[in-house]
Structure 1
């Protein structure tokens, strides 16, 4: 362990590469008593953030953390959780936040996969999983005794100057079966991803106050966390999303930046107190991670102040498309155009490029590509497409889409969700759009199941208005569809199954469709 050194150098966000730990130290020296983090337990100043990150990092190093080794984090998002994440990176380790919604078996497998020898875990999650969870890892309980565990006040960690290719974090995919894959991001990838965003905030003179209401284990949340800190702003961390509390926090904090997933936007707009909340400080709102309907985008534009930007990409990287909805209200059915530095191709089944307007498999590349799946070279290779003409590596986006004459990308469906019935390709999004034209349908989803006659057949699920008749909806929709597209069944359900960040879990719908068919 060392002692605190002299004044850190100012951070240059325009540099092609920089150190997150050095940037945090520099900003903390300048910001002092300004608030860096907030949660329901209170506030943490920039000075205290820097001190605690150093002390946790020093203790990690002193207790055997090796450079490039993972530090697992599991629990409800909080200031303590954020400190563990930042300290893991500062110590030269790799932040490995684990998905709280995963099963105990999946969590054990993720922990083993990460190679972590330390796990920060909160008391609630430990009680749920049992005292034996973590095996031989050193266990640090986030909400009990973290202050006693970290190094003494004023201690600094041993220096760590990251190289561009050094791993920064491991984000685990949201797979619903088996062990989620560990997606490795490098220091260079994170810097290229978030330093320009931070610079844009500072250039626009935005007082950056973010409200992070999705879990810190999610790559989605990083958009409202890491660039805000790089800009010297304030992040309020919500442990669990609640629409009324979100509105209260946004009003009280004068929140200027927010990242929300579509289901959260829907819940906010439906909240009884929404129209009374003062959200006038909002400057920019983001959305990603799940399909964002044109209708909901339009509602957000009408009812919430500030700009609205949809981000289309993957945790693995690939193309990044941006749709500034407030600038292109006639393109709300798309996910925007490739951002500067991003490229996109649309390929047919033979992996040849298709003309504009033709749907095909999307592949993309950018300066924000993953390093690969941890310990899974075969899965990493399968995730890439190599251009036979140039040898360049592109990321398979897993989506089917088409590009219009203006360069805007419209998603048709997930590649794995495409239904091949009687030799014809059926895109679930086309059928879902037809279902949602019916007044009785609040939300719809379509999946394919095996069929002896057709190979696969489409089956629909719908959340209906009170008194809605599924058979009447099915008959009306099938009357409009071509013979090859018609739904074999439509099932009414109370709510769509979704992950913690709002992704529709079509795997669960397929299982339910099979059960109902049997």
Structure 2
């Protein structure tokens, strides 16, 4: 490993690993708070010491560098300790979503070849019906089972040193998207070091306080978690998001940075008491993972102090775009321009590159690219595109176009585009209009099978509190705003839209649900 000569870290620092940065922070600011969750605080010296004990425990249990552990639990300080400890011991972390089905968890644990699975009590209970299928030893990340709890498991001796290189694997993140098939996305330490370096430009550092409410198994969260811990800031953890609690914690801890998904911004900004909270400490707010609509960005800019940055990219890596919304208020309907060093292009169905202004699939290249999907070479090949020079790009599956200034406007996921009667219909266009109805709080549009048209659009909506407008009345209003080919076949009102833990609307679930209830439409 390369040593960091100076403190604090600078953009010119050589490659450094997160475990080394943690040790550096512990030496220079041992008493500075590293992790806060409720009444529990860990200083950098305490965090570093616990990471050592956990790394030594992994080695004691026979795990070798390059082997994997899996973690499936809600956000907690022990989760942070274990994640960092596995890295320090040269191991690969497979963070899994507690919202996954028990069967999916078994599949992902086996696919990752995890030697140990760490869970909290709710996940342990969820796994009981499939206990016979789980060959990996299970340990408790909390102390619900004192004999096998986390504190009892920790070692009392220091770990053996392990050399980490840029190519050393960092994590395997499982992303099923909306396809339902878990795919392990492999990242190395080089990619994660790039994320830490990028954080310096946004004010992450020893004095930052990052309020984190998204789950640690998500790449969305790691983009904010890594520079906070790596650069010596303070991480305030929420195990579960709640808009009121979030605002209270932001005010209490004088938060400077945060990463939120768009639905969280929507729920925070819609609170009647939002303006009474003192949020003046915020320097920068971030968002990614799901469509962030221009009108919501404008509301955040108008009422929430500090800058607003939207990242567009994939867990798989490749090219990423960034919108500095506070600098480009006239571009709020875009996801910004490619980051420095990121090469992003648009291709047609045959893989031919298209000029700016043309609509096609977005592909991207950068140093931050996955090594591939774990154990799925054919899926890796499907996700790649090569230009005429042999340069490797990652296919995003998103349809979009670049304007003359290089800003990217996204239309939709390729698989979500509706082809009705030979016409391409982008659900995002319909959602933008449907969202304008004064009684709707959340909306989405899906394509469903139709014998007459091949596919036809159907809308789903969630009414605002207190609203009782009938679905048929909203449908008539909407269809009066659009052309014949864009009209909704029907509008279904529901109490909530199915979402992933990071806020993406699960359109596949809605399509399956619709087909189960209505079958194929005429």
Bin for the TM-score computed over the shorter chain: over 0.9
Aligned to 2:117: 119
Distance 1:342 1:484 in 2: 37
Contact 2:206/2:232 (CA < 8 Å) preserved in 1?
no
1:446 and 2:448 correspond: no
Aligned to 1:128: 126
> 1:479, CA displacement in angstroms?
3.2
Aligned to 1:413: 412
List alignment gaps of at least 5 residues for structure 1: 1-6
Contact 1:201/1:231 (CA < 8 Å) preserved in 2?
no
- Aligned partner of 1:168 among 167, 170, 173: 170
Aligned to 2:91: 93
Distance 1:440 1:137 in 2: 50
Distance of aligned partners of 1:382 and 1:16 in 2 relative to their CA distance in 1, 3 Å threshold? farther
1:348 and 2:352 correspond: no
Distance 2:201 2:410 in 1: 30
Aligned to 1:3: none
Distance 1:198 1:130 in 2: 44
Distance 1:122 1:464 in 2: 35
Contact 1:171/1:182 (CA < 8 Å) preserved in 2?
yes
Distance 2:206 2:31 in 1: 19
Distance of aligned partners of 1:451 and 1:8 in 2 relative to their CA distance in 1, 3 Å threshold? closer
Aligned to 2:20: 22
SS at match of 1:398: strand
- Aligned partner of 2:79 among 65, 78, 81: 81
Distance 1:175 1:401 in 2: 19
Paired residues for 1:13-412 under 5 Å: 13=10, 14-130=12-128, 132=131, 135-144=134-143, 145-152=149-156, 155-175=157-177, 178-198=180-200, 201=203, 207-387=207-387, 389-412=388-411
Distance 1:265 1:455 in 2: 36
Contact 2:34/2:233 (CA < 8 Å) preserved in 1?
yes
Aligned to 2:146: none
> 1:119, CA displacement in angstroms?
1.6
> 1:133, CA displacement in angstroms?
7.0
RMSD: 2.0
Give runs of ≥4 in structure 1 deviating > 6 Å: none
Q: Deviations over 1:186-223 (max 9, x none)?
A: 01111112223136536xx7721111101111111112
> 1:515, CA displacement in angstroms?
3.1
Aligned to 1:505: 506
Distance of aligned partners of 1:461 and 1:24 in 2 relative to their CA distance in 1, 3 Å threshold? same
Distance of aligned partners of 1:8 and 1:461 in 2 relative to their CA distance in 1, 3 Å threshold? closer
Distance of aligned partners of 1:134 and 1:516 in 2 relative to their CA distance in 1, 3 Å threshold? closer
> 1:483, CA displacement in angstroms?
2.8
Contact 1:165/1:188 (CA < 8 Å) preserved in 2?
yes
List alignment gaps of at least 5 residues for structure 2: 144-148
Q: Deviations over 1:479-516 (max 9, x none)?
A: 33333322222222222211111111101111233234
> 1:177, CA displacement in angstroms?
5.7
> 1:40, CA displacement in angstroms?
2.2
Distance 2:128 2:178 in 1: 22
Distance 2:312 2:47 in 1: 32
Distance 2:273 2:141 in 1: 33
Contact 1:441/1:468 (CA < 8 Å) preserved in 2?
no
SS at match of 1:223: helix
Distance 2:407 2:266 in 1: 24
Contact 2:197/2:227 (CA < 8 Å) preserved in 1?
yes
Distance of aligned partners of 1:178 and 1:474 in 2 relative to their CA distance in 1, 3 Å threshold? closer
Aligned to 1:464: 463
Distance 1:39 1:503 in 2: 26
Q: Deviations over 1:100-148 (max 9, x none)?
A: 1000000111111110111221123212322937834333211113222
> 1:367, CA displacement in angstroms?
1.4
Distance 1:462 1:135 in 2: 40
Distance 2:391 2:202 in 1: 30
TM-score normalised according to structure 2 size: 0.93
Contact 2:4/2:13 (CA < 8 Å) preserved in 1?
no
Contact 2:346/2:359 (CA < 8 Å) preserved in 1?
yes
Distance of aligned partners of 1:52 and 1:206 in 2 relative to their CA distance in 1, 3 Å threshold? closer
Please identify, of 456-465 and 33-42, the stretch whose mean Cα deviation from structure 2 is larger. 456-465
Distance 2:219 2:276 in 1: 31
Please identify, of 266-275 and 165-174, the stretch whose mean Cα deviation from structure 2 is larger. 266-275
Q: Deviations over 1:438-497 (max 9, x none)?
A: 333333211111122221111121223523232233233323333332222222222221
Distance 2:168 2:329 in 1: 41
SS at match of 1:151: coil
Distance of aligned partners of 1:297 and 1:451 in 2 relative to their CA distance in 1, 3 Å threshold? same
> 1:351, CA displacement in angstroms?
2.2
SS at match of 1:241: coil
Distance 2:42 2:325 in 1: 34
Aligned residues between the structures: 507
Aligned to 1:517: 518
Distance of aligned partners of 1:84 and 1:365 in 2 relative to their CA distance in 1, 3 Å threshold? same
Distance 1:405 1:8 in 2: 41
SS at match of 2:114: coil
Contact 1:109/1:179 (CA < 8 Å) preserved in 2?
no
Contact 1:419/1:456 (CA < 8 Å) preserved in 2?
yes
